[in-house]
Amino acid sequence: MKQYIVDAFTDKVFSGNQAAVCVMPSWPDEKLMMNIARENNFSETAFIVPDNSGKYNLRWFTPGGEIDLCGHATLASAYVMLRFYVDADEITFSTLSGDLTVKKHNELLSMNFPAYKLERVPVTEAMREALGFAPVSAFMGRDLLCVMENSEQVKTCRPDMDKVKALEGLLLHITAKGENEVECISRSFAPKLNIIEDPVCGSGHCHIVPYWVKALGKNEITAYQASERGGYLYCELEGDRVIISGKAALFSKAEIFTDALK
Active-site residues, by number, are 44
Give the other-Cβ count within 10 Å of 147's Cβ. Answer: 22
Q: CB-side exposure of 172: number of CA atoms within 13 Å?
A: 30
- Rounded (10°) CA dihedral 41, 5, 74, 70: 10
Listed in order, strand segments (DSSP E) in 68-180 are 90-95, 98-105, 108-114, 119-121, 137-140, 144-147, 172-177
Distance CA(76)–CA(246), nearest Å, equals 10
Q: How far is CA 168 from CA 14, 124, 146, 201, in A?
A: 32, 11, 12, 18
Distance CA(6)–CA(174), nearest Å, equals 25
Distance CA(169)–CA(96), nearest Å, equals 18
Three-state secondary structure call for residue 26: coil
Distance CA(136)–CA(2), nearest Å, equals 46
Amino acid in the structure at residue 199: P
